[in-house]
Structure 1
Amino acid sequence: MTHIDLIIIGGGPIGIACGLEAKKNGIEYLIIEKGPIVNSLFNYPINMQFFSSSEKLEIDEIPFISKEAKPKRNEALEYYRRIVTSNDLNINLFEKVTSVKKQEEIFYIETEKEKYTASFVVVATGFYDIPNTIDAPGENLPKVSHYYKDPHFYAKQKLAVVGASNSAVDAALECYRKGAEVTMIVRGPEIGKRVKYWVRPDILNRIEEGSIKVYYNALIKEISPDKISITMPEGDISIPNDYVLALTGYKPNFKFLQEIGIQLSDDHKLYPQYEEESMETNIKNLYLAGVICGGMDTHVWFIENSRIHAKTIIKDISSKTKIP
């Protein structure tokens, strides 16, 4: 069993930032990531463009140069990959952490490949791995996906896009422009207010002209192999359908947090407990970093406003280990 002073669970931008900060402060560390470098970003849609400008996605003051002010997925992958390789960060990829347990002052970490002990642990696992389900019959059919990658697949198909956030709007527009017959199914009365400001007018114009059909105040009643049934205030209707993109958001792995022993709030927000001045949880020497700190409010923390977590955490660890 290998002992590492600090184990960082999650190799996304904030996990990488924690690794950089630990290295600068002389702390022995290991980043463990269940997929490739910045796994969540890798699984974003191919043509995805960030809401944030490139300088707000920078970590450790390393310049992020992009063709446009707001970079795209492939540019972000290149940027974060270069940081990992150029700084020779200690990171294990395609190694999923399955268990974190504390006995006295030592953490025992098990993965699908190895066992470790550590004095400190940072959980920076994000929220992109578990989709919010629509809980309708037929949701598990092969035609239904909670992740969107490439519009080419849906060309000449009858596509239902469930949701009204950035991901749903981007998918609807891209697939429409590649020749899909797109219908949006929106639970609320309008397209989301937080949709990117340069995209929202586009989707509203496509809806107004009839290029993209939309049903507001609608809920999925049932998904069948050749149709989708929805419920609205005025009654139920069925729509011919080939594929469904249920882009209704994602949530952190709360079960994993609870198994570790991290306390969550009693309300539906499920905020994890931590101290803002150190990011330390109710478990001594175990810290949270990044979007996971917001519980179900996954729109509260982003790369740009959670980069500071790395410095905050490593400063606290350094004070405990008396590393200058």
Structure 2
Amino acid sequence: MHIFDVVIVGAGPAGLATAIAAVQNGLDHFVIEKGALVNSLLHYPVEMVFFTTPELMEIGGMPFTSPNDKPTRLEALRYYRRVTDVFGLKIAFDERVLAITRQDAPDARGSFAIDSQSARGVRRSVHARAVVIATGAYDVANSMGVPGEDLPHVSHYYTQPHPFFRKRVVIVGGKNSAAEGALDLFRAGASVTIVHRKPALGDSIKYWVKPDIENRIKEGSIAARFNTGVLEVRPTEVLVQSTDGVEDALPADAVFLLTGYGSDTTLLRAAGIELNPETNGPVFDPITFETSVPGLYVAGAMVAGIQSGRVFIENGRFHGQEVIKAIVRSLARG
């Protein structure tokens, strides 16, 4: 039975950085990804421009060059594909990890069995001395808990404007995703209304986006309902209520609930990893990133739980180096 030094769950930037660190330290690695390479980026708007600069998205010491001050989504996808090829990372795509179990058999003592299933239903198990969970914080959309949230014209992810030309679109949310989506849709010919429970848009909106969205609202090109919450999503409208109790029905052909995302903790719980009751994220050593289960580590945005805004590509890309240092020390001790 072959036992890898480390299996990494998730092929986002943090998972890739961890795999690269494993390669650089001579560890036998394997990555399992439930979707495509850097899968979360596929949910980003097609023409999105990152808030950060290219060098702050680099992993493995490989330069990320861009003709722009801030890279685009397309450039990022191209960069991470190139990095994966250059370092020869071993990755299984479209394969979901179902369970991580510590092994006690004599020929596998001290290792873990990682059970997975491909998108086509094929199951298998691989074994590793250590496991790193780097599944990101974009898998689970924050549910609003309102009737109609699961209707077919409702989505928690916005990617492109063209299908909504000449359609009435309601966007729920007041942070960067909502602002960029509203501008994108407006410029593609959609009639856009923003619904936000607070009195104004968030201060975290990209500095070049905020004045743009505020001016479009001020001139009436984009409608905005502040201090307003959603009561129900219906097939042709969204029922909202202001903080002073006034209800209204907003016509809607499409609805985007851009109210944030979080980590899927199912795998963590199943593996016996202790969770922080305040953040719903894993309890881990801040230096080694080892969890309450010896040999199981975490990396990337998922370490922050519901406080995912604390960890981005810019800082999560360094987690893998510390994780691999800890694993190397652990393997040396036997």
TM-score (normalizing by structure 2)? 0.94
- The C-alpha deviation readout for 1:140-176, integer Å capped at 9, x for no partner, is 1111011111100111000000101111111100000
2: distance between equivalents of 1:130 and 1:307? Answer: 21
Q: Which residue of 1 aligns with 2:263?
A: 252
Alpha-carbon contact 1:169-1:203 (below 8 Å) kept:
yes
1: distance between equivalents of 2:177 and 2:98? Answer: 29
1:80 aligned partner, one-letter code: Y
Q: Which residue of 1 aligns with 2:251?
A: 240
Q: Which residue of 2 aligns with 1:180?
A: 190
Alpha-carbon contact 2:23-2:87 (below 8 Å) kept:
no
Question: Of 98, 106, 112, which aligns to 1:107?
Answer: 112
Alpha-carbon contact 1:251-1:295 (below 8 Å) kept:
yes
Q: Which residue of 1 aligns with 2:317?
A: 307
Structure 1 residue 45 displacement after superposition: 1.2
Q: Which residue of 1 aligns with 2:235?
A: 225
Q: Which residue of 2 aligns with 1:80?
A: 80
Structure 1 residue 89 displacement after superposition: 0.9
Q: Which residue of 1 aligns with 2:153?
A: 143
Structure 1 residue 4 displacement after superposition: 1.6
1:62 aligned partner, one-letter code: M
- The C-alpha deviation readout for 1:276-308, integer Å capped at 9, x for no partner, is 110100110111100011110111001111222
2:200 aligned partner, one-letter code: E
1:96 maps to 2:106:
no
1:292 aligned partner, one-letter code: M
2: distance between equivalents of 1:278 and 1:198? Answer: 37
- The C-alpha deviation readout for 1:229-279, integer Å capped at 9, x for no partner, is 101123111111111011111110022211111111223x22310001101
2: distance between equivalents of 1:233 and 1:6? Answer: 52
1: distance between equivalents of 2:28 and 2:269? Answer: 27
Q: Which residue of 2 aligns with 1:279?
A: 289
1: distance between equivalents of 2:83 and 2:316? Answer: 18
Q: Which residue of 2 aligns with 1:42?
A: 42
2: distance between equivalents of 1:229 and 1:111? Answer: 42
Q: Which residue of 2 aligns with 1:157?
A: 167
Structure 1 residue 88 displacement after superposition: 1.4
Q: Which residue of 2 aligns with 1:62?
A: 62
Residues 1:190 and 1:12: Cα distance change in structure 2 (over 3 Å): same
Question: Of 262, 282, 285, which aligns to 2:273?
Answer: 262
Q: Secondary structure at the match of 1:319?
A: helix
Alpha-carbon contact 2:167-2:190 (below 8 Å) kept:
yes
1:211 maps to 2:221:
yes
1:94 aligned partner, one-letter code: D
Alpha-carbon contact 1:167-1:247 (below 8 Å) kept:
yes
Q: Secondary structure at the match of 2:323?
A: helix
2: distance between equivalents of 1:170 and 1:124? Answer: 27
Q: Which residue of 1 aligns with 2:107?
A: none
Amino-acid identity (%): 40
Deviates more, 1:233-242 or 1:153-162: 233-242
2: distance between equivalents of 1:243 and 1:6? Answer: 44
Q: Secondary structure at the match of 1:101?
A: strand
Deviates more, 1:226-235 or 1:7-16: 226-235
TM-score (normalizing by structure 1)? 0.97
Structure 1 residue 2 displacement after superposition: 4.5
1: distance between equivalents of 2:111 and 2:148? Answer: 46
